[in-house]
Amino acid sequence: ESLNNDHQNLFDKNNHPDLYLLDKDKYLLKDIRRQKKDSKNWDEEKGFNDVVAFLTLTPSTSKNKVVCMINADTMNNIAQNALLKSLEEPAPFSYIIMTTSRSKALNQTIYSRCQVINIPFLSSNKVNDWLQDNGINDFSSIDFPSFATPFSILDDIQSDRQNCYKEFISILVDFISQKIDQNQAIKLLNDIDINFISKINYFVEFYKIILKARITEEELSGTYKIFNSTKFNKLKISNLINDINDLRDDLYDVTSINETHVLNYFFSELKLSVRQ
């Protein structure tokens, strides 16, 4: 029991020598395999700060070494190819766990070398029950995008980001209502404490909600109520969702991007696609 507690304490501090936890907005080649050995990137327990080097070391305090990559779909093609050898010829004491919220987001060669486990999204009621069981009564699942998990909601609340999605939708409402212009909308959006990928995900979430309501002929309520009377072409919105998803995939293959340029494109398309 004491040993288990020691392991748990190391896990909680993200300092376990046999666990390499990665949670990044974008994974590059250097995260998987470094081309050159650099002494300043050396860690006495974990070796070089990359997946391949970590897995070549024998376990320190456990029977196995584990790499856990959150949002592995953010790997570009070069990074995915660099990971293949470790998947094809894994060390007997090693495990690689990759999570993604987008099915088929990785190359097929990755899936063919892994065991795929699909975890369904929790219903809104179950998420709300979990939040209440953890003492959160001021917020519910409706305050967050549908892809938000209970732990991500909890993290947003603890980080004071619980209103980010509602602020995002309010900006879109004011833009569609012509209360603010495009430059003001982009400035307000940039003031929200979320990364660029989250902004893209929010745009996709918004379009999916209004598209679903139009297809199912359901009335939107709350902040979305204004979009009951807007005019838009369902096929145009569907194509726009695909375009944004494709653009998000492209972001993982480039080293830099002009966010303002992309946001200008998003708002220009929004203005053309959804009208009062």
pLDDT tens digits, one per residue of 150-181: 888 998 998 899 999 999 999 999 999 999 99
Pairwise CA distance, residues 238 & 207, whole Å: 8
User: Over 60: is that where the pLDDT of 1 sits?
Assistant: no
When pLDDT is cut at 50, 70 and 90, the band that residue 40 belongs to is low
Could you tell me the pTM of the whole model?
A: 0.69
CB burial class (10 A; 0-12, 13-18, 19+) of residue 74? buried
Residue 42 main-chain phi, psi, to 5 deg:
-85, 135
Residues written for the chain: 276
Please say whether the beta carbons of 73 and 104 come within 8 A. Answer: no
Whole-number Cα distances in Å, 251 to 200, 218, 222, 247: 11, 34, 33, 6
DSSP β-bridge partners for residue 114: none
Predicted pLDDT at 46: 47
**Among 224, 210, 221, CA closest to 273:** 210
Predicted pLDDT at 169: 94
Q: Average pLDDT of 4-27? A: 78
Predicted pLDDT at 264: 92
Residues 58-67: pLDDT tens digits? Answer: 888 888 899 9
Between strands 19-23 and 94-98, the pairing is unpaired
Residue 172 main-chain phi, psi, to 5 deg:
-65, -40
Q: Which two tokens stand for residue 164?
A: 């980010």
CA contacts within 13 A on the Cβ side of 206: 28
Per cent of the chain over pLDDT 70 is 89
Sign of the alpha-carbon torsion through 183, 260, 25, 203 = positive
